[in-house]
Amino acid sequence: MRIILLGAPGAGKGTQAQFLMAKFGIPQISTGDMLRAAIKAGTELGKKAKAVMDAGQLVSDELIIGLVKERIAQDDCKAGFLLDGFPRTIPQADAMKENGVDVDYVVEFDVPDEVIVERMAGRRVHAGSGRVYHLVYNPPKTEGKDDETGDDLSIRPDDEEATVRKRLGIYHEQTKPLVAYYQAEAAADACAYLTIDGTQPVEQVSSLLDEKLS
């Protein structure tokens, strides 16, 4: 099973990725998590990516495509994977196609910008695992701590409101064209395309996915 999650920053991709990983037993490939791990580890890649990410801009297609190619070649991706945050531009989608990486489902999460801004203000993350919480909508069992490890949760530097608005602008400009791109792929029977109303509560979105993906 190969799935692409498409949607604005904060649309709920990472949250639903946790559900889909468990449902299908496939790994989550989150390019954002991979970049943040590289920053934390102080690698060359991390050094290149940090300033760009903190400013809310996109890392270069070349760098990201290389990263994903390497990741998809690993053994745990043989039975499938869940792409979260990739592709984010037309050249990234073209690169997947050129490399013969087909997908079964493209799932688009539809959420208006004003809802996104509110979500990002309350987002808290567990850096080690990719688990995501929200102060109000999806709070951890213990305030400020990850449910599974008890580690401290953190606030992403790029979740500050001005940066979120900038990221939304970039989403509409560079990522939104992928909606038409994959709808055309679906019309040619290359994949199935699904739009989900991402404003519904977390559990409701999960049960819709549970029902529609098989």
Positions in the binding site for ligand ADP (CB under 6 A): 7, 9-15, 28-35, 37, 52-53, 56-59, 64, 71, 85-86, 88, 92, 119, 122-123, 130, 132-134, 137-138, 158, 167, 198, 200-202, 205
Q: Closest Cα partner for 191 from 16, 20, 2? A: 2
Which residue, judged by CB position, is nearest to ligand ADP in the bound state?
A: 32
Is 167 one of the annotated active-site residues of the chain? yes
Residue labelled with tokens 């904060």: 10
Min CB(20)–ligand ADP separation in Å = 12
Is 156 one of the annotated active-site residues of the chain? yes
Is 13 one of the annotated active-site residues of the chain? yes
Length of the chain: 214
Is 47 one of the annotated active-site residues of the chain? no
The answer for 116, left when phi > 0, alpha when psi is -120 to 50, beta otherwise, is alpha
CA dist 182 and 185 (Å) reads 5
Min CB(138)–ligand ADP separation in Å = 4
Strands 105-110 and 123-125: what pairing? unpaired
Is 165 one of the annotated active-site residues of the chain? no
Measured from the CB atom, the residue of 4 and 28 that comes closer to ligand ADP is 28
Min CB(91)–ligand ADP separation in Å = 10
87 annotated among ligand-binding-site residues: yes
| DSSP structure string for 167-208 | HHHHIIIIITHHHHHHHHHHHTTSSEEEEEETTS-HHHHHHH
By annotation, the residues acting in catalysis are 13, 88, 123, 156, 167
Q: Binding site for ATP: residue ranges?
A: 10-15, 123, 132-133, 200
